[in-house]
Amino acid sequence: MKNKIRTFSIFICFLFFVSFLMIGCGDNGYSSPLKDNESKVVGIVTDVEKQTPISNVSISIVNSNNGKKHSQKTNSSGQYSIVCEPGYYSFVAEIDGYSSYSKDIVLGKGKNQEDFYLAKSIVSPCELDGRVVNFDTKEPIPGATVQVGRSLVKSDAEGNYKFAKKLPEGQYDCWISAPGFELFEKSITLSKGRNRAQFELLPFNPSQEVGDAGNQKIRRNPIVAIDPTTLNDCKIKIKKTLHPSNVELFYDIVLQDRYHSSLIAVEPDFKGIIIISQEGCFEKVNSQDWVQVQQSDILKPSDIYSADIESLLFFFNFEDPSIIIEEVGKEIVSNYNCTKFNLHTVQNTENSESFEMDVWIIKDPNAPSHLLNCAVKMKGFVPKNPDGEWYTIDIVFSEIGEMNSIDIPDNLEK
């Protein structure tokens, strides 16, 4: 049980939030003292696709008043640091294979932060199309989701798919999924011109042995639920109540796609906002100004609920004699026809490991009878942590697949 139930460390998460304004790239060797009349601009350059630092980026700043130019290249950690005089500057960053970055900036005395992202430039446009079929029968699979990198399309009634937007040359991670089939992941390489790829999905097997738990094989449960953390387009409302303090915590999350999301977190005396977008990652704490940060330094919106859902759905997806799953009835939640289940530990379970949760799951009429589409709502309590604290939780998913978009404030720094 202890290995299967992950107690969510909520207080650590809030510590991350409170520390947002303290997060920076650090000088890492660029910490030489400044004179009173000097300015320094520092930052990290990140690949927007891979979320990794980019080395050897040429950084140039030109003083708008006297034309004096300062240049430097980023180090292996994507960092740069340029000392100059305060004033107005034209800022340019360039490296082969990426689109350039330019901006007019004002540098005051002391340290100035300028983090930004670069996207790979499209040198040789590639076309991609193909089919999604059943691995066993080779019959087409309609309505399959095909995601290549950031781009996503659906297969038609004949299992055919086509990306209308041309893609740059290179290697891509692909995710292909369809109700009633195993998730398929693969890396493909696109070359200039037309590319074709056929993806063959294995039918879902509820009795498949999927791994070891100690010395014992794990088997799938006859009732299997799809993990809603795989959703890339929805809204989520979460309420957590900490016990025994009865402190209430609220979260509003919007997922636009795999790479764009937003989070509003509210607790007593604290309000934090995070936006992850194509332009970068931004956060705002209480009444402070927006600050651009590294994605690796911030709490992602999915971090708020993924551990809770993963722990719970383990018991839908895998057999466990210590957990009882009971079907309660049918209800409509967020305009979806759902089946309600109650999950609870058997009697005589220690308090530190016992839990009880009601779960509402969409029933997909197109999927096999043993496959449930997505947990739309969770409500219940989770085990105590080593400090004797525990919490109740209420999570509701809504507007699934309805082209949600994150709200980017007009005054957001870019």
* Both tokens assigned to 301: 């919106």
Q: What CATH number does the domain located at 126-210 have?
A: 2.60.40.1120
**What pLDDT sits at residue 81?**
92
On the question of a common fold for 26-114 and 126-210, the answer reads yes
DSSP 303: G
**What is the reported pLDDT for 265?**
92
Q: CB-based burial of residue 142 (10 Å sphere; 0-12 exposed, 13-18 middle, 19+ buried)?
A: middle
Cα(84)–Cα(34) distance, integer angstroms: 10
User: Which neighbouring-strand residues pair with 39?
Assistant: 84, 110
Domain ranges of the chain: 26-114, 126-210
User: Higher confidence at residue 293 or residue 261?
Assistant: 261
Taking the C-alpha atoms of residue 364 and residue 235, their distance in angstroms, rounded to an integer, is 20
pLDDT surpasses 80 at 222 = no
**Architecture in CATH for domain 26-114:** Sandwich (2.60)
- pTM for this model (two decimals): 0.54
* 310-328 pLDDT tens trace: 777 777 777 777 888 888 9
Q: Identify whether the C-beta of residue 345 lies closer than 8 Å to the C-beta of residue 323.
A: yes
Residues 121-147: what's their mean pLDDT? 87
Name the band, by pLDDT with cuts 50, 70 and 90, for residue 227.
low
